[in-house]
Structure 1
């Protein structure tokens, strides 16, 4: 029986088509398998990086916490140190004042005029540029008669880049009693206001005695403004 050429050509094309389909499926399988392995490898790398980043973040967080704790401890220690220093300075000042007071009482020969200025303090008032001054005089010798006299006070400083001196009388609101008569001690109070452009630097106290002892007629003392200025209530 003679075979038809058309049938042979059909069979050949069918075989080639089937082979192409088989090859295509095989290549697709290989591609899918490769992509799955690539994806798994990529995911593994990403997971390793994520674990590494998490570990580094935990270490950094621990360091930050340690630094915060150290900073807090250092801050508390510094605050305590400042408190101790302030208390020590306050105690030193009080002891110095007490020593000075008893020294003048026990050793009156340290004063040639029979008295001394025990304390001079200036305190800011609630009114701007207004101050209260308290002058305390102390008797240093045993006398039957009281000590009599008067006091003049001058404030020196700068005003408009020029040296300026004001008598306290010029700066007070009202006249204040400047004469004194006392035994043991006395305090004299003044209230005054400084001009807006005046910067005080020193205060001079001139005490004149009515009956001078040992020929002396006055007692002069000078004080630095910053050393006698008490802190305001808002500080």
Structure 2
């Protein structure tokens, strides 16, 4: 299985995974989302946000492909461009950090492999640009007892919500509704790839990965990936939540 990761471009927005193209959980002002019954075109809203960030700030996404098929993506930007970033009990993001908002792997591709390759690509991009740190708001749903190979990037069981979910129009709205359950990154996974908690919370910790030249982030990520792949080799492959 051949995995490659490329930077998201203005001409390649249609290459994002389906949910990532429609998800506006991070990008829409929560007050607007709460007062609006629906968004007529969340894809337009998302593409407008991505275009603005790329034109004003630069690259803000990485897309993973496995054998030519879209396998996942990562999105990141200055926290000032992310309205929902101010709502968490562990806000605000540190002034020297870029915020990682999305890290997702598409079924049936391995979360661990795709997730780590996306993180490596994000970090490599930010190091080249002189960014000091990458931060993310994670979700905790279960005690950290699952093997690393069994952890998923996004949480699907959280009952507590940050603000109101973003409602979308159309028959697919129930399946694509944006909420913490579908749009945040598992905190345990972030810790597995080298992030450290800098603001504790039982549900929504804020985590940080230092990107300075002395941090050795590449070795940390590669070591974590080796551990995940070794653990996966000792278990029968399956996806959490599958029958």
Smaller-chain TM-score range?
under 0.3
Q: Tell me the TM-score normalised to structure 1 length.
A: 0.22
Structure having greater relative contact order (Cα 8 Å, sep ≥ 6)? 2
Mark the structure with the bigger radius of gyration.
1
